[in-house]
Amino acid sequence: MQLLEEKIRKAMAAGRPALIPFLTAGFPDSARFWPTLMELDGNGADIIEIGVPFSDPVADGPVVEEASRRALSDGVNLRDLLKEMARRKGLIKAGVVLMGYFNPFLQYGLQELARDAEKAGVHGLIVPDLPYEESGPMRVALNQCGIALIPLVGPNTAEERMALYAAEGQGYVYVVSVMGITGQRSSQAPQVAETIKRARGVFSLPLALGFGLSEPSQLAELPADARPDAVVFGSALLRHLDAGKSAAAFLARWR
């Protein structure tokens, strides 16, 4: 079993959803990023998604976009991130996933990226703008280094297309709660339960729900048979951290 799947199934066996915080690399600033990452790791994160800053983040809402802009202005880049992660390899207990757009990964070189990511202790990648039909070269490069290319599906993903991802997917499935950009929302859209049920009928992998989660009460809105196996929170966490509050306090709500 791939490590990311193992982390989620361990949380499920304990009777809770796995916790997957998203943190933009270099946020809140270069000095606080690594302590914040380790604080998340030490306070209940099962998997940590690290956002790779990009200048044209088309799927990101204003909070994540601003975090990316600030990181880029501070000189944060993928190569230095992987070098620093390699120096800290073994210190992070959580699974580690890089989430970013295809262009920086392609510019890095897919084979080199896979090798350096493995050295850095990365277990998976999420690439929102990489369609299945164009994912072959990246999938091959990552597979050679034991790194999962995590499928991403949403309300508009047909079962036939989910089946393509299911045949190749590893780790977990990132289920987008709504069409549109990232950002915290006060409630779950009606199609969330239907999307999770459809995905559960196709995938054997655990399902992680993202885009818009900020409070545990949002999960209670979903029927018992349509609750995710893991929860991803990004914008709400970034706002919390930018207000000077601790990562531990944020995670405490979910534990």
110 CB-near residues (< 8 Å, 6+ apart): 137, 138, 141
Radius of gyration in angstroms for the set of CA atoms belonging to the chain, rounded to a whole number: 17
71 CB-near residues (< 8 Å, 6+ apart): 24, 25, 26, 27, 53
Would you state the torsion angle of the CA atoms of residues 192, 195, 197, 203, taken in this order, to the nearest 10 degrees? -130
60 among known catalytic residues: yes
Burial 12-29 (b: 16+ CB within 10 A, else e): eeeeebbbbbbbbbbbbe
Token match 């080199």: residue? 112
5 among known catalytic residues: no
104 CB-near residues (< 8 Å, 6+ apart): 52, 54, 78
Angle at 75 between CA 74 and CA 78, to 5 degrees: 130
Catalytic residue among 5, 39, 46, 60: 60
CB 33 within 8 A of CB 25: yes
Token match 């559960």: residue? 200
Catalytic residue among 49, 65, 116, 229: 49
CB 125 within 8 A of CB 147: yes
> Which residues are designated catalytic?
49, 60
